[in-house]
Structure 1
Amino acid sequence: MIDKNSPLPIYSQIEEYIKERIEKGELKPGDVLPPEREYAEQFDVSRMTIRQAINNLVNDGLIYRKKGSGTFIAEKKFEQPLQGLTSFTEDMKGRGLTPSSKLLSFELIPASANIAAVLHISEYTPVYEIKRIRMADNTPMALETCYISANLIKGLTEEIINQSLYQYIEEKLQLEIGEATQVIESALANDLEVELLKINDGDPILLIERCTYLKNGTPFEIVRSSYRADRYKFTSKLKR
């Protein structure tokens, strides 16, 4: 399988070999990767060459190391295109997955100065505060907090937000959703995120803050989410 006379570096060939086994399902998420020594003997190469291949696969997110336990095959990441505005529910259904949420709290609260400024409302105006865990096929994907203008998006109930908020807004309230602005940054998971997203202490997460607008330009929603970086990645198509 390894051609030592090929212009392609040996570590790259070993990378491709392991990738192929993952793609074919011979190595499944959660499986332990054979130790470096075993690969070194199999391919008759140095352990440093194997380590280079393994490091590249770790950097690509295909495998991960767990201190004291070994190297494991990672779960496949969900790709989220940055073009187009969809809800979490719509996005997961489009992937053939079953979306669900675990509601942590649902309250009507007075808007803080910061929330009011973003939603273009007066301070202390009522807003819905919704905290929930977003899941796909019962796997926690994100910890989400929403702030929604209660005077604009009326009649919200737990039943509605457990289904599809955007569908309720467009079909029941007959309001047209237009666009959103979104900021993404990386961080390390805090204690609450570790507990609720079932990840390890110090794991990376993607922090996303989005403000969503109706077609007439009125902001109606702020969403602050902590996504599991081991299960999610964002893609965009750029044109010159």
Structure 2
Amino acid sequence: MLADLAEGDPVPAERELAVQFGVARETVRQALHELLVAGRIERRGRGTVVSRPKLTQPLGLQSYTEGALAVGRTPGRLAVTTEIVGATTELAAGLAIPVGAPVLHLERVLLADDQRIGLESTYLSSDRFTGLATTFDPTTSLYAAIRATGVRFGSATERIETALASPREAELLESTTAMPMLLLNRRSLDTQGVPIELVRALYRGDRIAFETVLT
């Protein structure tokens, strides 16, 4: 069916597809749901259209901006939250700072070609990156801003697993709580082994995939 349609073309109605292929509407409905989860089609308004291919994001020590540009997509970000919070026990351990120390929390919606791809929360030591809360433009690359302070990324540990979005997260991602998501947690260190950031990013499973090169 999709082989004859281009990106943005409307998908025929369930009734039409059922007649065309001689199957029950329930069978068509299940097939369309699988295509939706796979990112082959998407809801627009009250209709369904053919979506563009998933963004394939390389796994590596680079920013989302760098990864999107590397595969020919136009990255963007929408600021949701910029705040200073006290370090919880978990944040203090991850950033190697005292409990209660000031932490900069940045929450942003990640875009690719104006499509909402993910929701990213980043935590950094406010004492280490003094002034970043007031000088950083949240629509730009955070990694570029960090490097501009003289800090160099040395290594990172990432964990990726499946998850479901909360109602708030689903709304920010223009999705639903039933859509499968990819949850990424990352801890980045500088070249001296000192923690730089903790990141929690939730990605729409129908719009992004991750890949890496094994040697």
Asked if Structure 1 and Structure 2 have the same fold, meaning a TM-score greater than 0.5 normalized by the shorter chain, the answer is yes
Distance 1:197 1:59, change over 3 A: closer
Distance 2:99 2:106 in 1: 18
Of the three residues 118, 133, 138, the one matched with 2:94 is: 118
Q: Write the deviation string for residues 172-230 of structure 1: whole angstroms up to 9, x where unpaired.
A: 21121111111111122221112111113411111111111101111110111111111
Distance 1:181 1:164 in 2: 20
Per-residue deviation, 1:78: 0.5
**Counterpart secondary structure, 1:180:** strand
Q: Which is higher, the Rg of structure 1 or of structure 2?
A: 1
**Counterpart secondary structure, 1:141:** strand
Per-residue deviation, 1:120: 1.3
Contact preservation (8 Å) 2:84, 2:104: yes
User: What does residue range 33-182 of structure 1 map to in structure 2 within 5 Å?
Assistant: 33=12, 35-40=16-21, 47=23, 54=31, 58=35, 61=38, 63-64=40-41, 72-82=49-59, 84-162=60-138, 163-170=140-147, 172-182=148-158
Q: What is the letter of the counterpart of residue 106 of structure 1?
A: T
Q: What is the letter of the counterpart of residue 126 of structure 1?
A: P
**Counterpart secondary structure, 1:58:** helix
Higher relative contact order (CA 8 A, sep 6+): 2
1:189 aligns with 2:165: yes
Distance 1:233 1:86, change over 3 A: same
Mark the runs of 5 or more structure 2 residues left unpaired by the alignment. none
Q: Write the deviation string for residues 21-59 of structure 1: whole angstroms up to 9, x where unpaired.
A: 3xxxx332462146444443xxxxx638xx69x579739
Distance 2:110 2:33 in 1: 30
Distance 1:62 1:105, change over 3 A: closer
Which stretches of structure 1, 4 residues or longer, exceed 4 Å deviation after superposition?
54-57, 69-72
RMSD: 2.9
Distance 1:219 1:161, change over 3 A: farther
Contact preservation (8 Å) 1:58, 1:64: yes
**Which residue number corresponds to residue 32 of structure 1?**
11
**Which residue number corresponds to residue 187 of structure 2?**
211
Contact preservation (8 Å) 1:29, 1:76: no
Q: What is the letter of the counterpart of residue 143 of structure 2?
A: Y
